[in-house]
A and B are shown apart, each in its own frame.
Chain A
Amino acid sequence: MKKTVSILTLTLCLLVLMSCPVFAKTINVWTGFPELEPFYKWAGAEFSKTHPEIEVKVLSTSLREFEQKLVTSIPTGTGPEVFDVGPYIAIKLIDADLLPVNPPELDSYLKSGAWSQFAVDYVTIKGNTYGLPLMNGSRAALFYNKDMFIEAGLDPNKPPTNYEELMEAAQKLTKYDKSGKVIRSGLSLRISGGGSGLTEKFRFVLHNAGADLIVPTKNGKWKNGIDNEAGREALRYYIDALHKYKVDDPQVKHDSDAFVTETTAMFLRESWVIGEVNSKNPNLNYGVAPMPGWKRYDTLSQPWAIYMSMEGAQSKEVIEFMKFLTSTQAAPKLIELSGWIPERNFDSEPLVKEIPQYEFFVNPPAEIGYYADPVIPAFDEIQTKVADELMEAFLNKKLVDNPKELDKTVRKIAKLIDSVLKRNNAYGK
């Protein structure tokens, strides 16, 4: 009897052990975008179907925490095998020889025509390619509330196409209380909050006005590109919007919160807003239009890539997983599960049919130009520090119709940019 019980117990234990999946290898994936976690988890589960020996573990934290964790773990070889990160961190790791050059298999996959030349060039550093562009991290558009357009007597099918029209429409769309205070902004601008995001949004106006935060010099270095008439025009646009035409106010709700709760009529943002609207206010009647133009009709388009660690690049499975994450099979899932637009080409027809607002993001008009963050390590510091200066300037009423003060402010920002470039040995004349 005792023997029978022992045999039965042993058999049961063996059966339990056999029913558990046995993973010979783990692929760790880290991200600073928590909304990407479901996508990576889905991809891991799918990948394990064809590679049962592989287990994919996903870790997501807030972007800044993730960046800190990554730059401390990669040099010590304790980081993840796969991760997505912005160009300003990637270039630091590349400069320090901490990121592997794409193996021939990934390099040819990247250049197979699945990506635009713009995206391929973006991950090409000194002739070598690094990682694969996963999604478009910054392609922005004009979001506008169609009901508010109708209410203000504007044609909801003719959104503003340039910044002048945008200001005119914003004035018609803004609502004030009896004391003249803004209760619904016509155009929600990013005017507060720490961090580089504020500068990035300011660049939407700055770039199309004809300037850039930094511009390359002949000797392959950089200098500020804001100390010029276009730079002053862009800043004046914000100042006028806030203090002269009062189409926005620091004290009202801003950003997607304002758009979703219908306390702003228009704002400039990326594709993820569509997911936000769908989940928080699905009945919102809104449209998405290309970024308004000025001297240029460009839109920021920032490929956000996935990379492998040095250790990860040694593994055939990791390379295959990288390819799977950027496959045509994974592309629709990326939008579905995260709201972000895949950088690679894919069949977007079913998506646009279901949610027409995606049209601009997946099939942008051919005449639109693109620009991206310069791939230099100091750019994030420049954007963050300029944000502090801009924030102060936006609240300064003295800048209204005051070219002298405006000029002083722009020069101060320009000086700050050049000083950061100089300290990073990236400044050139």
Chain B
Amino acid sequence: MQSLGLDKYSSSERSRFLFCYLMLLPILALFFLFRVFPIIKTFWMSFFDWKLVGKERPFLGLGNYLMLLSDDQFLLSMKNTFLYAGASVIICLLLSLPIAVVLAKKTKFSGFYQAIYFLPYITPLVPMAVAWKWIYDPRYGILNYILSIFGIEPIGWLIYPNIAIWALIIMNVWKNLGYNIVLLMVGLKNISPMYYEAASIDGAYGWKCFRYITLPLLKPILLYVLVTSTINAFNVFTQVYVMTLGSQAAPGRAVRVLLYDIYENGFRYFRLGYASAEAVVLTIIVITLTLIQFKFIKSEE
């Protein structure tokens, strides 16, 4: 017991700790079983030619990873995922920040607008994607109808490869805007008015206040929003899956993202080893980006 350093605690304290750990044990066990173990197993499987149905699972070493480098579909899905994630996160942040600043001031319909912006976030993804599929319909979609009022020709949103990925980005921005706004508003409301009062005495208003007071003090929330938005954007799947279903759906190639490629390799072609290698790459990318964001924000501090 001495080696564990528990001798400084009384026996009642020790039994309290023991009780706490015992109570945590089932949750930790479940966490290990459903979170940690699958991650380790995925990592392990990525070194094998692991088929869902098959008698043999030969060891490939880094074979799956090397194959990824020459797989056009994987490289395309990487490109699409980076474009989707980058554009979604940046556009969403750039839009949500000014809206949050406006709504954070106690305006007349502030609460109403917050609710309106937040509604898409709580809408289930599948029906939402189906609805957007209709919105994007070139003939009967409401988006093209609105554009036609301004004399713009109908656009095949989900038909042409160079447009289809942007159609997904628009949908993602629409969905996540409200969530970002709410988080940023929390951050804005936590900034003490004292700073603004002091700034106004020194003659600083408007943009200067925003640049030198709001933005620096909002950094922890901005970091959180950036990290969670990036992780969410890299994990895009449902929208793509729904949008590519059916004979009048989006071109699979144009909207192929990493998770979709993983799904297809794993559960369509049953190449679990290969799909695992893709999943490991995705994990590494997300962790790296998160660390970069942390480092970037911290170094500025």
A interface vs B, CB < 8 Å? 64, 68, 71-72, 74-75, 92-93, 95-98, 190, 192-195, 197, 250-255, 257, 380-381, 384-385, 387-389, 391-392, 395, 416, 423
The one of A193, A392, A395 that contacts B244, using a Cβ cutoff of 8 Å = A193
Q: Are A255 and B248 in contact (CB under 8 A)?
A: yes
Identity of the chain A residue whose Cβ is nearest the Cβ of B260 in the assembled complex: A194
Instruction: Decide: A194 near B156, CB < 8 A? Known: A92-B54, A95-B54, A97-B55.
Output: no
List, in ascending order, chain B residues with CB within 8 A of A68's CB.
267
List, in ascending order, chain A residues with CB within 8 A of B52's CB.
71-72
List, in ascending order, chain A residues with CB within 8 A of B250's CB.
192-194
Q: Are B156 and A251 in contact (CB under 8 A)?
A: yes
Q: Top 6 nearest A-B pairs by Cβ distance?
A: A194-B252, A194-B244, A388-B253, A251-B138, A193-B249, A255-B247
Instruction: Decide: A93 near B53, CB < 8 A? Known: A64-B268, A193-B246, A257-B248.
Output: yes
Q: Are A387 and B252 in contact (CB under 8 A)?
A: yes
B276 to chain A, nearest CB (A): 16
A356 CA to B256 CA, complexed, in Å: 43
**Subset of 16 A-B contacts with CB under 8 Å:** A64-B268, A92-B53, A97-B55, A193-B245, A193-B252, A194-B249, A195-B252, A250-B156, A250-B159, A251-B154, A253-B139, A381-B269, A388-B253, A395-B159, A395-B161, A423-B67
Instruction: Decide: A197 near B247, CB < 8 A? Known: A192-B159, A250-B156, A395-B161.
Output: yes
List, in ascending order, chain B residues with CB within 8 A of A93's CB.
53
B29-60: contact bitstring with A at CB < 8 Å (1 yes, 0 no)?
A: 00000000000000000000000111100000
Is B251's CB within 8 Å of the partner chain A? yes
List, in ascending order, chain B residues with CB within 8 A of A74's CB.
53
List, in ascending order, chain B residues with CB within 8 A of A381's CB.
268-269
We find that the number of chain B residues with CB closer than 8 angstroms to chain A is 32
Is B264's CB within 8 Å of the partner chain A? yes
Q: Are B268 and A380 in contact (CB under 8 A)?
A: yes
B63-95: contact bitstring with A at CB < 8 Å (1 yes, 0 no)?
A: 000010000110000000000000000000000
A160 CA to B250 CA, complexed, in Å: 31
Identity of the chain A residue whose Cβ is nearest the Cβ of B243 in the assembled complex: A194
List, in ascending order, chain B residues with CB within 8 A of A64's CB.
267-268
A255 CA to B158 CA, complexed, in Å: 16
A173 to chain B, nearest CB (A): 19
Instruction: Decide: A193 near B247, CB < 8 A? Known: A381-B269, A388-B252.
Output: yes
A68 CA to B266 CA, complexed, in Å: 10
Is B294's CB within 8 Å of the partner chain A? no
Instruction: Given contacts A71-B270, A193-B247, A388-B252, list 18 more A-B pairs with CB under 8 A.
Output: A64-B267, A64-B268, A72-B52, A74-B53, A95-B54, A98-B53, A193-B245, A193-B251, A194-B244, A194-B251, A195-B252, A251-B138, A251-B156, A257-B248, A381-B269, A384-B268, A387-B252, A416-B72
**B139, B246, B251 interface centre (most CB from chain A within 10 Å):** B251
A250 CA to B249 CA, complexed, in Å: 11
Q: Are B73 and A96 in contact (CB under 8 A)?
A: no
Q: Are A252 and B161 in contact (CB under 8 A)?
A: no
**B67, B73, B246 interface centre (most CB from chain A within 10 Å):** B246
The one of A98, A190, A388 that contacts B247, using a Cβ cutoff of 8 Å = A190
Which parts of B98-154 form the interface with A (CB within 8 Å)?
A: 138-139, 154
List, in ascending order, chain B residues with CB within 8 A of A194's CB.
244-245, 249-252
Identity of the chain B residue whose Cβ is nearest the Cβ of A252 in the assembled complex: B139
List, in ascending order, chain B residues with CB within 8 A of A423's CB.
67
Identity of the chain B residue whose Cβ is nearest the Cβ of A188 in the assembled complex: B247
Identity of the chain A residue whose Cβ is nearest the Cβ of B247 in the assembled complex: A255
Identity of the chain B residue whose Cβ is nearest the Cβ of A395 in the assembled complex: B160
Identity of the chain A residue whose Cβ is nearest the Cβ of B56 in the assembled complex: A96
Identity of the chain A residue whose Cβ is nearest the Cβ of B267 in the assembled complex: A68
A202 CA to B202 CA, complexed, in Å: 73
B256 to chain A, nearest CB (A): 7
List, in ascending order, chain A residues with CB within 8 A of B156's CB.
250-251
**B138, B154, B269 interface centre (most CB from chain A within 10 Å):** B269
List, in ascending order, chain B residues with CB within 8 A of A255's CB.
247-248
A98 to chain B, nearest CB (A): 7
Q: Are A392 and B54 in contact (CB under 8 A)?
A: no
List, in ascending order, chain A residues with CB within 8 A of B53's CB.
71, 74-75, 92-93, 95-96, 98
Q: Are A391 and B251 in contact (CB under 8 A)?
A: yes
B154-182: contact bitstring with A at CB < 8 Å (1 yes, 0 no)?
A: 10101111000000000000000000000
A391 CA to B158 CA, complexed, in Å: 12
Q: Are A192 and B253 in contact (CB under 8 A)?
A: no
A395 CA to B164 CA, complexed, in Å: 13
A7 CA to B269 CA, complexed, in Å: 62
A388 CA to B253 CA, complexed, in Å: 5
A192 CA to B248 CA, complexed, in Å: 6
**A190, A195, A252 interface centre (most CB from chain B within 10 Å):** A195
A307 to chain B, nearest CB (A): 14
B262 to chain A, nearest CB (A): 14
The one of A96, A385, A389, A391 that contacts B55, using a Cβ cutoff of 8 Å = A96
Instruction: Decide: A391 near B248, CB < 8 A? Known: A96-B55, A251-B156.
Output: no
B178 to chain A, nearest CB (A): 29
Identity of the chain A residue whose Cβ is nearest the Cβ of B158 in the assembled complex: A192
B84 to chain A, nearest CB (A): 16
List, in ascending order, chain B residues with CB within 8 A of A416's CB.
72
List, in ascending order, chain B residues with CB within 8 A of A95's CB.
53-55
List, in ascending order, chain A residues with CB within 8 A of B245's CB.
193-195
Q: Are A193 and B248 in contact (CB under 8 A)?
A: yes
A64 CA to B53 CA, complexed, in Å: 15
List, in ascending order, chain A residues with CB within 8 A of B67's CB.
423
A390 to chain B, nearest CB (A): 10
Q: Are B73 and A253 in contact (CB under 8 A)?
A: no
A389 CA to B257 CA, complexed, in Å: 16
A61 to chain B, nearest CB (A): 13
A385 CA to B72 CA, complexed, in Å: 11
Which parts of B7-33 form the interface with A (CB within 8 Å)?
A: none
Instruction: Decide: A254 near B248, CB < 8 A? Known: A96-B54, A384-B268.
Output: yes
A251 CA to B156 CA, complexed, in Å: 6
Identity of the chain A residue whose Cβ is nearest the Cβ of B252 in the assembled complex: A194
A137 to chain B, nearest CB (A): 17
A75 CA to B52 CA, complexed, in Å: 9
A388 CA to B67 CA, complexed, in Å: 20
A253 CA to B154 CA, complexed, in Å: 14
